[in-house]
A and B are shown apart, each in its own frame.
Chain A
Protein backbone atom coordinates (compact mmCIF):
# COMPACT_ATOMS: atom_id res chain seq x y z
CA UNK A 1 0.00 0.00 0.00
CA UNK A 2 1.32 3.39 -0.91
CA UNK A 3 0.62 6.21 1.51
CA UNK A 4 2.83 8.47 -0.54
CA UNK A 5 1.06 11.02 -2.58
CA UNK A 6 2.26 11.38 -6.11
CA UNK A 7 4.58 14.34 -5.69
CA UNK A 8 6.55 12.79 -2.85
CA UNK A 9 6.75 9.49 -4.70
CA UNK A 10 8.05 11.39 -7.70
CA UNK A 11 10.63 13.11 -5.51
CA UNK A 12 11.93 9.87 -4.09
CA UNK A 13 11.93 8.24 -7.51
CA UNK A 14 14.06 11.13 -8.70
CA UNK A 15 16.55 10.25 -5.98
CA UNK A 16 16.71 6.70 -7.18
CA UNK A 17 17.04 7.75 -10.80
CA UNK A 18 19.92 9.96 -9.68
CA UNK A 19 21.64 7.00 -8.08
CA UNK A 20 21.00 4.60 -10.90
CA UNK A 21 21.92 6.94 -13.69
CA UNK A 22 24.77 8.95 -12.19
CA UNK A 23 26.44 6.00 -10.58
CA UNK A 24 25.75 3.70 -13.52
CA UNK A 25 27.11 6.22 -15.97
CA UNK A 26 30.23 6.78 -13.87
CA UNK A 27 30.80 3.07 -13.61
CA UNK A 28 30.19 2.52 -17.32
CA UNK A 29 32.78 5.14 -18.18
CA UNK A 30 35.16 3.72 -15.60
CA UNK A 31 34.83 0.23 -17.03
CA UNK A 32 35.14 1.71 -20.51
CA UNK A 33 38.42 3.30 -19.43
CA UNK A 34 39.53 0.01 -17.90
CA UNK A 35 38.96 -1.66 -21.24
CA UNK A 36 40.83 1.11 -22.98
CA UNK A 37 43.75 0.96 -20.55
CA UNK A 38 44.59 -2.61 -21.41
CA UNK A 39 43.36 -2.53 -25.01
CA UNK A 40 46.83 -2.88 -26.55
CA UNK A 41 47.55 -5.86 -24.32
CA UNK A 42 44.13 -7.49 -24.62
CA UNK A 43 44.14 -7.17 -28.40
CA UNK A 44 47.78 -8.11 -28.96
CA UNK A 45 46.90 -11.68 -29.91
CA UNK A 46 49.56 -12.89 -27.45
CA UNK A 47 49.18 -14.99 -24.30
CA UNK A 48 52.29 -13.85 -22.49
CA UNK A 49 54.13 -10.54 -22.44
CA UNK A 50 57.77 -10.12 -21.58
CA UNK A 51 58.77 -6.77 -20.09
CA UNK A 52 62.00 -5.38 -18.73
CA UNK A 53 63.13 -6.58 -15.34
CA UNK A 54 61.13 -5.42 -12.31
CA UNK A 55 58.37 -3.82 -14.30
CA UNK A 56 54.88 -5.11 -13.78
CA UNK A 57 53.11 -2.84 -16.25
CA UNK A 58 53.86 -1.21 -19.57
CA UNK A 59 54.00 2.31 -18.15
CA UNK A 60 57.03 1.53 -16.01
CA UNK A 61 58.82 -0.75 -18.48
CA UNK A 62 62.25 -0.11 -19.99
CA UNK A 63 63.73 -2.02 -22.88
CA UNK A 64 64.97 -5.55 -23.46
CA UNK A 65 67.56 -7.38 -25.57
CA UNK A 66 65.80 -8.46 -28.76
CA UNK A 67 67.84 -11.68 -28.83
CA UNK A 68 65.60 -13.00 -26.00
CA UNK A 69 63.28 -13.95 -28.85
CA UNK A 70 65.87 -16.46 -30.07
CA UNK A 71 66.19 -17.98 -26.62
CA UNK A 72 62.47 -18.71 -26.62
CA UNK A 73 62.78 -20.64 -29.88
CA UNK A 74 63.76 -23.74 -27.89
CA UNK A 75 60.39 -23.95 -26.12
CA UNK A 76 58.12 -26.42 -27.88
CA UNK A 77 54.86 -24.95 -26.56
CA UNK A 78 55.38 -21.57 -28.17
CA UNK A 79 53.68 -20.80 -31.45
CA UNK A 80 55.41 -17.50 -32.02
CA UNK A 81 57.39 -14.82 -30.21
CA UNK A 82 57.78 -11.31 -31.58
CA UNK A 83 59.56 -8.20 -30.39
CA UNK A 84 57.44 -5.02 -30.24
CA UNK A 85 58.33 -1.42 -29.60
CA UNK A 86 56.10 0.82 -27.49
CA UNK A 87 57.23 4.35 -26.95
CA UNK A 88 55.99 7.86 -26.55
CA UNK A 89 56.78 10.38 -29.30
CA UNK A 90 55.79 13.82 -30.55
CA UNK A 91 53.80 14.23 -33.73
CA UNK A 92 54.02 17.56 -35.49
CA UNK A 93 50.64 19.01 -36.35
CA UNK A 94 50.04 21.13 -39.47
CA UNK A 95 49.66 24.09 -37.11
CA UNK A 96 53.26 23.58 -36.06
CA UNK A 97 52.39 22.47 -32.57
CA UNK A 98 53.16 18.96 -31.48
CA UNK A 99 50.93 16.26 -30.13
CA UNK A 100 51.96 13.40 -27.84
CA UNK A 101 51.47 10.03 -29.45
CA UNK A 102 52.11 6.44 -28.51
CA UNK A 103 54.17 4.65 -31.15
CA UNK A 104 53.49 0.95 -31.53
CA UNK A 105 56.10 -0.72 -33.70
CA UNK A 106 55.11 -4.17 -34.83
CA UNK A 107 57.50 -6.61 -36.47
CA UNK A 108 57.17 -7.43 -40.15
CA UNK A 109 55.92 -9.57 -41.76
CA UNK A 110 53.53 -11.00 -39.14
CA UNK A 111 52.66 -7.60 -37.61
CA UNK A 112 51.70 -9.22 -34.29
CA UNK A 113 50.46 -6.70 -31.74
CA UNK A 114 49.45 -4.40 -34.56
CA UNK A 115 46.08 -2.79 -35.20
CA UNK A 116 43.22 -5.17 -34.53
CA UNK A 117 40.46 -3.36 -36.35
CA UNK A 118 40.77 -1.33 -39.51
CA UNK A 119 38.21 1.19 -40.70
CA UNK A 120 38.92 0.03 -44.24
CA UNK A 121 41.54 -2.05 -45.99
CA UNK A 122 44.17 -4.15 -44.26
CA UNK A 123 46.92 -3.52 -41.73
CA UNK A 124 49.34 -4.75 -44.40
CA UNK A 125 49.95 -1.07 -45.15
CA UNK A 126 52.37 -1.28 -42.21
CA UNK A 127 54.57 -3.60 -44.26
CA UNK A 128 55.60 -0.57 -46.28
CA UNK A 129 58.63 1.25 -44.94
CA UNK A 130 56.91 4.47 -43.83
CA UNK A 131 53.33 3.21 -43.58
CA UNK A 132 51.39 4.22 -40.44
CA UNK A 133 47.82 3.91 -39.21
CA UNK A 134 45.90 6.14 -36.85
CA UNK A 135 42.40 5.77 -35.46
CA UNK A 136 39.40 7.49 -36.99
CA UNK A 137 38.35 8.74 -33.56
CA UNK A 138 41.72 10.42 -33.06
CA UNK A 139 41.91 12.18 -36.41
CA UNK A 140 40.86 15.55 -35.01
CA UNK A 141 43.67 15.39 -32.43
CA UNK A 142 46.16 14.79 -35.20
CA UNK A 143 45.06 17.66 -37.41
CA UNK A 144 42.87 15.47 -39.63
CA UNK A 145 45.59 13.86 -41.76
CA UNK A 146 44.36 12.38 -45.05
CA UNK A 147 45.36 8.91 -46.18
CA UNK A 148 48.61 9.34 -48.08
CA UNK A 149 49.59 12.43 -46.13
CA UNK A 150 53.09 12.54 -44.72
CA UNK A 151 53.58 13.76 -41.16
CA UNK A 152 56.58 14.07 -38.88
CA UNK A 153 57.01 12.15 -35.65
CA UNK A 154 60.08 13.02 -33.62
CA UNK A 155 61.36 14.65 -36.80
CA UNK A 156 60.99 11.43 -38.84
CA UNK A 157 58.54 11.16 -41.70
CA UNK A 158 55.70 8.68 -41.64
CA UNK A 159 52.91 8.33 -44.18
CA UNK A 160 49.32 7.87 -43.00
CA UNK A 161 48.46 4.72 -44.91
CA UNK A 162 45.14 3.76 -43.32
CA UNK A 163 42.70 4.39 -40.52
CA UNK A 164 41.88 1.99 -37.74
CA UNK A 165 38.50 1.92 -36.07
CA UNK A 166 38.53 1.44 -32.32
CA UNK A 167 42.16 0.29 -32.22
CA UNK A 168 42.87 2.83 -29.52
CA UNK A 169 44.26 2.87 -26.05
CA UNK A 170 44.18 4.90 -22.88
CA UNK A 171 46.53 7.86 -22.86
CA UNK A 172 48.24 9.36 -25.90
CA UNK A 173 46.91 8.72 -29.39
CA UNK A 174 48.17 5.42 -30.78
CA UNK A 175 50.12 5.44 -34.04
CA UNK A 176 50.94 2.03 -35.47
CA UNK A 177 54.09 1.65 -37.58
CA UNK A 178 56.43 -1.24 -38.27
CA UNK A 179 59.31 -1.88 -35.89
CA UNK A 180 61.92 -0.59 -38.30
CA UNK A 181 60.18 2.76 -38.51
CA UNK A 182 59.60 2.68 -34.75
CA UNK A 183 63.32 2.25 -34.11
CA UNK A 184 64.00 5.17 -36.41
CA UNK A 185 61.53 7.31 -34.54
CA UNK A 186 62.47 6.30 -31.02
CA UNK A 187 66.14 5.63 -31.41
CA UNK A 188 65.85 2.13 -29.97
CA UNK A 189 68.62 0.09 -31.58
CA UNK A 190 68.08 -3.01 -33.67
CA UNK A 191 69.22 -5.34 -30.88
CA UNK A 192 66.72 -3.92 -28.36
CA UNK A 193 62.94 -3.83 -28.06
CA UNK A 194 60.52 -2.81 -25.32
CA UNK A 195 58.43 -5.97 -25.16
CA UNK A 196 58.27 -9.48 -26.51
CA UNK A 197 54.88 -10.97 -27.26
CA UNK A 198 54.51 -14.72 -26.94
CA UNK A 199 51.72 -16.83 -28.39
CA UNK A 200 51.26 -20.35 -27.06
CA UNK A 201 50.11 -23.40 -28.94
CA UNK A 202 46.44 -24.28 -28.30
CA UNK A 203 45.67 -26.16 -25.10
CA UNK A 204 49.01 -25.43 -23.44
CA UNK A 205 49.11 -24.68 -19.70
CA UNK A 206 49.94 -21.00 -19.60
CA UNK A 207 51.28 -21.03 -16.02
CA UNK A 208 53.72 -23.78 -16.78
CA UNK A 209 55.08 -22.01 -19.85
CA UNK A 210 55.26 -18.75 -17.93
CA UNK A 211 57.41 -20.52 -15.33
CA UNK A 212 59.63 -21.98 -18.04
CA UNK A 213 60.12 -18.57 -19.64
CA UNK A 214 60.88 -17.01 -16.27
CA UNK A 215 63.58 -19.60 -15.78
CA UNK A 216 64.93 -19.00 -19.24
CA UNK A 217 64.89 -15.20 -18.90
CA UNK A 218 65.66 -14.42 -15.26
CA UNK A 219 66.40 -10.78 -16.08
CA UNK A 220 62.99 -10.07 -17.56
CA UNK A 221 59.49 -9.76 -16.22
CA UNK A 222 57.14 -12.43 -17.63
CA UNK A 223 53.40 -11.91 -17.27
CA UNK A 224 50.29 -13.48 -18.71
CA UNK A 225 48.07 -11.11 -20.63
CA UNK A 226 45.42 -11.14 -17.91
CA UNK A 227 48.01 -10.39 -15.20
CA UNK A 228 49.43 -7.55 -17.21
CA UNK A 229 46.00 -6.13 -18.07
CA UNK A 230 45.08 -6.15 -14.38
CA UNK A 231 48.37 -4.50 -13.40
CA UNK A 232 47.92 -1.77 -15.98
CA UNK A 233 44.44 -1.00 -14.73
CA UNK A 234 45.51 -0.90 -11.12
CA UNK A 235 48.49 1.29 -12.01
CA UNK A 236 46.44 3.77 -13.99
CA UNK A 237 43.60 3.74 -11.52
CA UNK A 238 45.84 4.58 -8.61
CA UNK A 239 48.53 6.67 -10.30
CA UNK A 240 46.31 8.92 -12.35
CA UNK A 241 43.40 10.99 -11.09
CA UNK A 242 40.96 8.44 -12.46
CA UNK A 243 40.54 6.43 -9.31
CA UNK A 244 39.86 9.35 -7.04
CA UNK A 245 37.78 11.22 -9.60
CA UNK A 246 35.52 8.30 -10.39
CA UNK A 247 35.42 7.14 -6.81
CA UNK A 248 34.46 10.66 -5.80
CA UNK A 249 31.70 11.12 -8.34
CA UNK A 250 30.32 7.65 -7.67
CA UNK A 251 30.18 8.36 -3.96
CA UNK A 252 28.60 11.76 -4.64
CA UNK A 253 25.99 10.07 -6.83
CA UNK A 254 25.20 7.58 -4.10
CA UNK A 255 25.09 10.26 -1.41
CA UNK A 256 22.84 12.55 -3.44
CA UNK A 257 20.49 9.65 -4.07
CA UNK A 258 20.40 8.51 -0.46
CA UNK A 259 19.91 12.04 0.79
CA UNK A 260 17.02 12.63 -1.61
CA UNK A 261 15.40 9.33 -0.70
CA UNK A 262 15.93 9.93 3.00
CA UNK A 263 14.52 13.45 2.83
CA UNK A 264 11.48 12.55 0.77
CA UNK A 265 10.68 9.43 2.75
CA UNK A 266 11.20 11.20 6.05
CA UNK A 267 9.24 14.26 5.03
CA UNK A 268 6.49 12.02 3.82
CA UNK A 269 6.27 10.25 7.16
CA UNK A 270 6.30 13.61 8.95
CA UNK A 271 3.49 14.89 6.75
CA UNK A 272 1.60 11.63 7.07
CA UNK A 273 1.95 11.13 10.83
CA UNK A 274 -1.79 11.36 11.20
CA UNK A 275 -2.31 8.69 8.53
CA UNK A 276 0.08 6.35 10.25
CA UNK A 277 -1.57 7.01 13.61
CA UNK A 278 -4.97 6.32 12.09
CA UNK A 279 -3.72 3.09 10.55
CA UNK A 280 -2.29 2.06 13.90
CA UNK A 281 -5.61 2.83 15.57
CA UNK A 282 -7.43 0.82 12.92
CA UNK A 283 -5.30 -2.17 13.81
CA UNK A 284 -1.92 -1.86 12.09
CA UNK A 285 0.84 -3.38 14.17
CA UNK A 286 4.33 -1.92 14.18
CA UNK A 287 5.40 -4.61 11.77
CA UNK A 288 2.62 -3.57 9.40
CA UNK A 289 3.90 0.00 9.47
CA UNK A 290 7.36 -1.41 8.82
CA UNK A 291 5.99 -3.34 5.85
CA UNK A 292 4.25 -0.27 4.46
CA UNK A 293 7.43 1.81 4.56
CA UNK A 294 9.53 -1.01 3.18
CA UNK A 295 7.06 -1.62 0.39
CA UNK A 296 7.12 2.07 -0.36
CA UNK A 297 10.89 2.13 -0.47
CA UNK A 298 11.04 -0.91 -2.72
CA UNK A 299 8.36 0.43 -5.04
CA UNK A 300 10.25 3.68 -5.35
CA UNK A 301 13.41 1.67 -5.93
CA UNK A 302 11.80 -0.40 -8.65
CA UNK A 303 10.35 2.58 -10.52
CA UNK A 304 13.62 4.47 -10.16
CA UNK A 305 15.60 1.50 -11.42
CA UNK A 306 13.38 1.17 -14.44
CA UNK A 307 13.75 4.83 -15.41
CA UNK A 308 17.42 4.90 -14.43
CA UNK A 309 18.31 1.84 -16.48
CA UNK A 310 16.35 3.23 -19.38
CA UNK A 311 18.38 6.45 -19.25
CA UNK A 312 21.55 4.47 -18.79
CA UNK A 313 20.81 2.37 -21.85
CA UNK A 314 20.22 5.61 -23.74
CA UNK A 315 23.55 6.93 -22.54
CA UNK A 316 25.42 3.78 -23.51
CA UNK A 317 23.74 3.77 -26.89
CA UNK A 318 24.52 7.45 -27.37
CA UNK A 319 28.23 7.18 -26.62
CA UNK A 320 28.71 3.93 -28.50
CA UNK A 321 31.51 4.34 -31.02
CA UNK A 322 32.38 7.78 -29.66
CA UNK A 323 35.59 8.86 -27.96
CA UNK A 324 33.95 8.46 -24.56
CA UNK A 325 34.51 4.86 -23.63
CA UNK A 326 31.63 3.24 -21.81
CA UNK A 327 30.71 -0.31 -21.18
CA UNK A 328 29.02 -2.23 -18.41
CA UNK A 329 30.20 -5.72 -17.54
CA UNK A 330 27.25 -8.12 -17.41
CA UNK A 331 27.44 -8.55 -13.65
CA UNK A 332 27.14 -4.84 -13.04
CA UNK A 333 23.43 -4.09 -13.66
CA UNK A 334 22.22 -6.76 -11.19
CA UNK A 335 24.78 -5.57 -8.64
CA UNK A 336 23.71 -2.01 -9.29
CA UNK A 337 20.05 -2.94 -8.79
CA UNK A 338 20.87 -4.67 -5.53
CA UNK A 339 22.83 -1.65 -4.36
CA UNK A 340 19.93 0.61 -5.31
CA UNK A 341 17.44 -1.41 -3.28
CA UNK A 342 19.87 -1.41 -0.40
CA UNK A 343 20.19 2.37 -0.62
CA UNK A 344 16.42 2.75 -0.80
CA UNK A 345 16.18 0.76 2.36
CA UNK A 346 18.95 2.82 3.91
CA UNK A 347 17.17 5.99 2.83
CA UNK A 348 13.99 4.84 4.53
CA UNK A 349 15.60 3.95 7.85
CA UNK A 350 15.09 7.41 9.28
CA UNK A 351 11.49 7.48 8.08
CA UNK A 352 11.01 4.04 9.53
CA UNK A 353 12.34 5.07 12.92
CA UNK A 354 9.99 8.03 12.94
CA UNK A 355 6.99 6.05 11.75
CA UNK A 356 7.44 3.28 14.29
CA UNK A 357 7.32 5.85 17.07
CA UNK A 358 3.89 7.10 16.07
CA UNK A 359 1.35 6.09 18.71
CA UNK A 360 -2.15 5.07 17.70
CA UNK A 361 -3.60 7.37 20.37
CA UNK A 362 -2.24 10.38 18.49
CA UNK A 363 -4.89 9.75 15.83
CA UNK A 364 -7.36 11.31 18.29
CA UNK A 365 -5.36 14.44 19.03
Chain B
Protein backbone atom coordinates (compact mmCIF):
# COMPACT_ATOMS: atom_id res chain seq x y z
CA UNK B 1 0.00 0.00 0.00
CA UNK B 2 1.29 3.36 -1.04
CA UNK B 3 0.62 5.39 2.07
CA UNK B 4 3.31 7.88 1.25
CA UNK B 5 1.43 9.13 -1.73
CA UNK B 6 -1.77 9.78 0.04
CA UNK B 7 -3.20 13.21 -0.60
CA UNK B 8 -3.63 15.63 2.29
CA UNK B 9 -7.36 14.84 2.11
CA UNK B 10 -6.90 11.33 3.39
CA UNK B 11 -4.35 12.62 5.82
CA UNK B 12 -7.24 13.57 8.05
CA UNK B 13 -8.16 9.96 8.63
CA UNK B 14 -4.88 8.38 9.54
CA UNK B 15 -1.97 9.44 7.45
CA UNK B 16 0.71 7.40 9.04
CA UNK B 17 -1.17 4.32 10.04
CA UNK B 18 0.96 2.17 7.84
CA UNK B 19 4.19 3.82 8.86
CA UNK B 20 3.20 3.62 12.48
CA UNK B 21 2.52 -0.07 12.13
CA UNK B 22 6.07 -0.33 10.84
CA UNK B 23 7.25 2.02 13.53
CA UNK B 24 7.95 -0.89 15.79
CA UNK B 25 11.26 -0.40 17.53
CA UNK B 26 13.86 -2.16 15.50
CA UNK B 27 12.21 -1.49 12.14
CA UNK B 28 13.95 1.42 10.42
CA UNK B 29 11.99 4.56 9.57
CA UNK B 30 14.65 5.33 7.02
CA UNK B 31 17.16 3.19 5.21
CA UNK B 32 20.01 4.38 3.00
CA UNK B 33 21.57 1.80 0.73
CA UNK B 34 24.94 2.58 -0.82
CA UNK B 35 24.13 6.28 -0.92
CA UNK B 36 26.85 8.60 -2.22
CA UNK B 37 27.04 12.18 -3.39
CA UNK B 38 29.38 13.97 -5.75
CA UNK B 39 29.85 17.70 -6.08
CA UNK B 40 31.56 19.39 -8.96
CA UNK B 41 34.03 22.15 -8.14
CA UNK B 42 34.67 23.69 -11.50
CA UNK B 43 35.86 20.67 -13.48
CA UNK B 44 36.79 18.50 -10.56
CA UNK B 45 34.21 16.00 -9.39
CA UNK B 46 34.56 15.32 -5.69
CA UNK B 47 32.83 12.50 -3.87
CA UNK B 48 31.77 14.37 -0.79
CA UNK B 49 29.79 11.49 0.60
CA UNK B 50 31.20 8.03 0.09
CA UNK B 51 28.93 5.04 -0.33
CA UNK B 52 27.01 4.75 2.88
CA UNK B 53 24.51 2.19 4.08
CA UNK B 54 22.58 3.16 7.16
CA UNK B 55 19.34 2.46 9.03
CA UNK B 56 17.65 5.05 11.21
CA UNK B 57 15.58 3.44 13.93
CA UNK B 58 12.58 4.96 15.67
CA UNK B 59 12.55 5.60 19.38
CA UNK B 60 16.17 6.65 19.58
CA UNK B 61 18.40 9.65 19.16
CA UNK B 62 21.01 9.17 16.49
CA UNK B 63 23.82 11.68 16.75
CA UNK B 64 25.92 12.27 13.67
CA UNK B 65 29.19 13.88 14.64
CA UNK B 66 32.29 14.92 12.81
CA UNK B 67 34.47 17.87 11.94
CA UNK B 68 33.28 20.67 9.73
CA UNK B 69 33.33 19.69 6.08
CA UNK B 70 33.17 15.96 6.77
CA UNK B 71 29.86 15.59 4.93
CA UNK B 72 27.35 15.57 7.81
CA UNK B 73 24.97 18.07 6.25
CA UNK B 74 25.25 16.32 2.91
CA UNK B 75 24.23 13.05 4.50
CA UNK B 76 21.46 14.70 6.51
CA UNK B 77 19.97 16.44 3.48
CA UNK B 78 19.97 13.17 1.58
CA UNK B 79 18.13 11.58 4.49
CA UNK B 80 15.82 14.57 4.35
CA UNK B 81 14.95 13.95 0.69
CA UNK B 82 16.17 17.46 0.03
CA UNK B 83 19.36 16.53 -1.79
CA UNK B 84 19.44 13.85 -4.47
CA UNK B 85 22.14 11.23 -3.99
CA UNK B 86 24.48 10.59 -6.90
CA UNK B 87 24.17 6.88 -6.22
CA UNK B 88 22.26 4.52 -3.95
CA UNK B 89 18.70 4.06 -2.79
CA UNK B 90 16.56 5.73 -0.13
CA UNK B 91 13.82 3.75 1.57
CA UNK B 92 11.29 5.59 3.71
CA UNK B 93 8.85 3.57 5.81
CA UNK B 94 9.63 0.51 3.73
CA UNK B 95 9.12 2.22 0.39
CA UNK B 96 11.86 3.00 -2.11
CA UNK B 97 11.51 6.71 -2.85
CA UNK B 98 14.74 7.15 -4.82
CA UNK B 99 13.00 7.73 -8.13
CA UNK B 100 10.24 9.95 -6.79
CA UNK B 101 9.59 13.24 -8.54
CA UNK B 102 10.52 16.46 -6.82
CA UNK B 103 6.88 17.20 -6.05
CA UNK B 104 6.24 13.80 -4.51
CA UNK B 105 9.34 14.17 -2.37
CA UNK B 106 8.15 17.61 -1.29
CA UNK B 107 4.80 16.16 -0.26
CA UNK B 108 6.58 13.41 1.63
CA UNK B 109 8.67 15.92 3.51
CA UNK B 110 5.64 17.99 4.32
CA UNK B 111 3.69 15.05 5.72
CA UNK B 112 6.27 12.88 7.39
CA UNK B 113 9.41 14.90 8.03
CA UNK B 114 10.42 17.48 10.57
CA UNK B 115 13.45 19.72 10.12
CA UNK B 116 15.34 21.77 12.67
CA UNK B 117 17.93 24.09 11.22
CA UNK B 118 21.15 25.50 12.58
CA UNK B 119 19.64 28.91 13.05
CA UNK B 120 15.96 28.51 13.68
CA UNK B 121 15.23 29.74 10.16
CA UNK B 122 11.86 31.14 11.10
CA UNK B 123 10.18 33.41 8.61
CA UNK B 124 10.49 36.98 9.88
CA UNK B 125 7.31 38.19 8.19
CA UNK B 126 5.17 35.66 10.07
CA UNK B 127 4.39 35.52 13.75
CA UNK B 128 5.44 32.55 15.87
CA UNK B 129 2.17 30.65 15.55
CA UNK B 130 2.05 31.11 11.77
CA UNK B 131 5.66 30.01 11.57
CA UNK B 132 4.70 26.77 13.26
CA UNK B 133 1.74 26.33 10.91
CA UNK B 134 3.51 27.36 7.73
CA UNK B 135 4.45 23.82 6.78
CA UNK B 136 0.88 22.60 6.88
CA UNK B 137 -0.35 25.51 4.79
CA UNK B 138 2.51 25.47 2.34
CA UNK B 139 0.80 23.43 -0.36
CA UNK B 140 -2.22 25.68 -0.30
CA UNK B 141 -4.18 23.59 2.16
CA UNK B 142 -6.26 24.88 5.00
CA UNK B 143 -4.97 24.60 8.52
CA UNK B 144 -7.36 22.40 10.42
CA UNK B 145 -8.53 23.30 13.90
CA UNK B 146 -6.83 20.16 15.14
CA UNK B 147 -3.49 21.21 13.71
CA UNK B 148 -3.88 24.65 15.22
CA UNK B 149 -4.62 23.11 18.59
CA UNK B 150 -1.61 20.89 18.24
CA UNK B 151 0.57 23.90 17.43
CA UNK B 152 -0.69 25.73 20.50
CA UNK B 153 -0.06 22.67 22.62
CA UNK B 154 3.49 22.30 21.31
CA UNK B 155 4.28 25.98 21.76
CA UNK B 156 3.05 26.07 25.33
CA UNK B 157 4.85 22.80 26.02
CA UNK B 158 8.02 24.52 24.82
CA UNK B 159 7.40 27.58 26.98
CA UNK B 160 6.32 29.87 24.18
CA UNK B 161 2.69 30.31 25.15
CA UNK B 162 3.10 34.04 25.60
CA UNK B 163 4.81 34.58 22.26
CA UNK B 164 2.23 33.26 19.81
CA UNK B 165 1.80 36.53 18.00
CA UNK B 166 5.35 37.77 18.46
CA UNK B 167 7.65 38.11 15.51
CA UNK B 168 10.66 35.78 15.52
CA UNK B 169 13.01 38.77 15.89
CA UNK B 170 11.43 39.51 19.26
CA UNK B 171 12.45 36.11 20.60
CA UNK B 172 15.81 35.04 22.02
CA UNK B 173 17.78 32.62 19.86
CA UNK B 174 16.91 29.81 22.26
CA UNK B 175 13.21 30.64 22.02
CA UNK B 176 13.49 30.85 18.25
CA UNK B 177 15.01 27.40 18.14
CA UNK B 178 12.21 26.03 20.29
CA UNK B 179 9.67 27.59 17.93
CA UNK B 180 11.58 25.88 15.14
CA UNK B 181 11.20 22.57 16.96
CA UNK B 182 7.47 23.19 17.34
CA UNK B 183 7.28 23.80 13.59
CA UNK B 184 9.12 20.54 12.93
CA UNK B 185 6.78 18.58 15.18
CA UNK B 186 3.40 19.94 14.23
CA UNK B 187 2.89 17.39 11.46
CA UNK B 188 3.82 14.56 13.83
CA UNK B 189 6.78 13.44 11.71
CA UNK B 190 8.24 9.95 11.68
CA UNK B 191 11.67 11.46 11.22
CA UNK B 192 13.07 14.55 12.87
CA UNK B 193 16.27 15.81 11.28
CA UNK B 194 18.30 18.46 13.10
CA UNK B 195 21.41 20.12 11.68
CA UNK B 196 23.54 21.61 14.47
CA UNK B 197 20.46 22.89 16.31
CA UNK B 198 22.45 24.12 19.30
CA UNK B 199 25.50 25.63 17.67
CA UNK B 200 24.01 29.13 17.69
CA UNK B 201 22.78 28.84 21.28
CA UNK B 202 24.34 29.54 24.66
CA UNK B 203 24.96 26.56 26.89
CA UNK B 204 21.75 26.88 28.88
CA UNK B 205 19.42 27.31 25.87
CA UNK B 206 21.33 24.53 24.13
CA UNK B 207 20.70 22.23 27.07
CA UNK B 208 16.96 22.97 27.00
CA UNK B 209 16.81 22.25 23.27
CA UNK B 210 18.80 19.04 23.63
CA UNK B 211 16.63 17.86 26.53
CA UNK B 212 13.57 18.55 24.40
CA UNK B 213 14.94 16.63 21.44
CA UNK B 214 15.99 13.77 23.68
CA UNK B 215 12.49 13.57 25.13
CA UNK B 216 11.00 13.60 21.61
CA UNK B 217 13.24 10.76 20.50
CA UNK B 218 11.68 8.45 23.07
CA UNK B 219 8.53 8.32 20.96
CA UNK B 220 8.69 4.79 19.52
CA UNK B 221 7.15 5.97 16.25
CA UNK B 222 9.78 8.57 15.54
CA UNK B 223 13.42 8.64 14.66
CA UNK B 224 15.58 11.63 15.57
CA UNK B 225 18.86 12.42 13.84
CA UNK B 226 21.03 15.19 15.22
CA UNK B 227 24.07 16.49 13.42
CA UNK B 228 26.76 18.16 15.51
CA UNK B 229 30.42 18.91 15.78
CA UNK B 230 30.09 19.64 19.48
CA UNK B 231 31.30 16.78 21.75
CA UNK B 232 29.06 18.06 24.56
CA UNK B 233 26.12 16.67 22.60
CA UNK B 234 27.48 13.13 22.57
CA UNK B 235 26.03 12.10 25.94
CA UNK B 236 22.55 12.63 24.52
CA UNK B 237 23.11 10.01 21.85
CA UNK B 238 21.45 6.62 21.90
CA UNK B 239 23.57 5.89 18.91
CA UNK B 240 26.63 7.84 17.89
CA UNK B 241 27.93 7.98 14.34
CA UNK B 242 31.20 9.67 13.51
CA UNK B 243 32.02 10.98 10.07
CA UNK B 244 35.35 11.82 8.54
CA UNK B 245 36.06 12.72 4.96
CA UNK B 246 32.63 11.74 3.72
CA UNK B 247 32.46 8.37 5.38
CA UNK B 248 31.04 7.02 8.61
CA UNK B 249 34.09 5.84 10.45
CA UNK B 250 32.49 4.93 13.73
CA UNK B 251 29.07 3.64 14.78
CA UNK B 252 28.20 2.68 18.37
CA UNK B 253 25.85 0.08 16.91
CA UNK B 254 28.69 -1.88 15.30
CA UNK B 255 31.05 -1.13 18.17
CA UNK B 256 28.80 -1.58 21.17
CA UNK B 257 31.71 -1.50 23.58
CA UNK B 258 31.49 2.30 23.46
CA UNK B 259 32.87 5.36 21.79
CA UNK B 260 35.03 7.88 23.51
Contacts and interface: CB of A to CB of B under 8 A. Distances in A.
B51 interface: no
Interface residues of B, number: 31
Contacts of B102: 285-286
Given A1-B134, A291-B140, A364-B82, A285 B103 contact: yes
A288 interface: yes
B135 interface: yes
A288 B121 contact: no
A360 B77 CA distance: 9
B162 to A, nearest CB: 23
Contact residues of A: prevailing secondary structure = helix
Contacts, number: 79
A275 B183 CA distance: 14
Interface stretch (B20-28, B52-60, B109-117, B205-213): B109-117
B137 A1 contact: yes
Given A361-B77, A364-B117, A281 B139 contact: no
B109 A283 contact: yes
A282 B109 contact: yes
B138 A274 contact: no
Nearest to B123: A275
Chain A: interface residue count, which band?
A: 20 to 34
A286 B107 CA distance: 12
A283 B117 contact: no
Contacts of A1: 126, 134, 137
Most buried by B among A274, A278, A365: A278
B76 interface: yes
Given A1-B134, A281-B115, A361 B82 contact: yes
A244 B100 CA distance: 57
Nearest to A283: B110
A288 B82 contact: no
Interface stretch (A2-10, A28-36, A150-158, A190-198): A2-10
B76 A364 contact: yes
B106 A285 contact: yes
A284 interface: yes
Nearest to A282: B135
B134 A281 contact: no
B83 interface: yes
B124 interface: yes
B62 interface: no
A360 B123 CA distance: 15
Contacts of A2: 125
Nearest to B77: A361
Given A278-B117, A361-B83, A363-B82, A283 B138 contact: yes
B123 A288 contact: no
Contact of A283 (B76, B118, B139): B139
Given A3-B125, A274-B121, A284 B138 contact: yes
Contact of B77 (A274, A288, A291, A364): A364
Contacts of B113: 283
14 contacts: A1-B126, A279-B123, A279-B138, A281-B80, A282-B134, A283-B113, A285-B106, A288-B106, A288-B138, A288-B139, A360-B106, A361-B82, A363-B117, A364-B82
Given A280-B106, A282-B110, 5 more contacts: A275-B125, A281-B109, A283-B111, A283-B113, A360-B109
Interface of B: 73, 76-77, 80, 82-83, 102-103, 106-111, 113, 115, 117-118, 121, 123-126, 134-135, 137-140, 183, 195
